């Protein structure tokens, strides 16, 4: 499941996540102009999500959205790969992400 080079609104995220979960378990939203609102929607659904891969490369995700996603992964058992490269995450945001991910023992790749 991939969306590339077009804006994906926060309202579309739930249906895209459903489609990905019913497919290969991969949600690839590279260069989709994912913003803070969309990142929050993703985070709100991740706890119970069966996604295996979430690729949000080259978007507009900032510290608050990235940290919210990582906090949601504390109880997630399925996500193995999270890609957030090319976003607007600061060093302070990365530190908060790492702390939020400490309880997660299932994530294998964070890029």
What is the reported pLDDT for 5? 58
pLDDT tens for 41-68 read: 999 999 899 999 999 999 999 999 999 9
What is the reported pLDDT for 6? 80
Place of tokens 């499941």: 1
Residues 6, 35: Cα–Cα separation, whole Å:
13
pLDDT tens for 12-30 read: 999 999 999 999 999 999 9
The pTM for the full model equals: 0.92
Residues 29, 35: Cα–Cα separation, whole Å:
11
- Evaluate whether 14 touches 39 at the Cβ level (below 8 Å): no
Residues 110, 104: Cα–Cα separation, whole Å:
12
Mean of the pLDDT values across residues 63-74? 96
Residues 103, 78: Cα–Cα separation, whole Å:
14
């Amino acid at each position: 499941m991939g969306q590339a080079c077009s804006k994906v609104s926060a309202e579309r995220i739930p249906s895209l996540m459903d489609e990905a979960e019913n497919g290969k378990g991969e949600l690839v939203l590279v260069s989709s102009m994912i913003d803070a609102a969309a990142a929050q929607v993703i985070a709100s659904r991740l706890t119970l999500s069966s996604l295996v891969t979430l690729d949000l490369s080259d978007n507009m995700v900032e510290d608050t959205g990235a940290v919210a996603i990582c906090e949601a992964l504390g109880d997630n058992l399925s996500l193995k790969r999270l890609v957030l490269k090319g976003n607007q995450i600061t060093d302070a945001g990365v530190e908060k992400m790492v702390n939020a991910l400490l309880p997660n023992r299932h994530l294998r790749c964070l890029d």
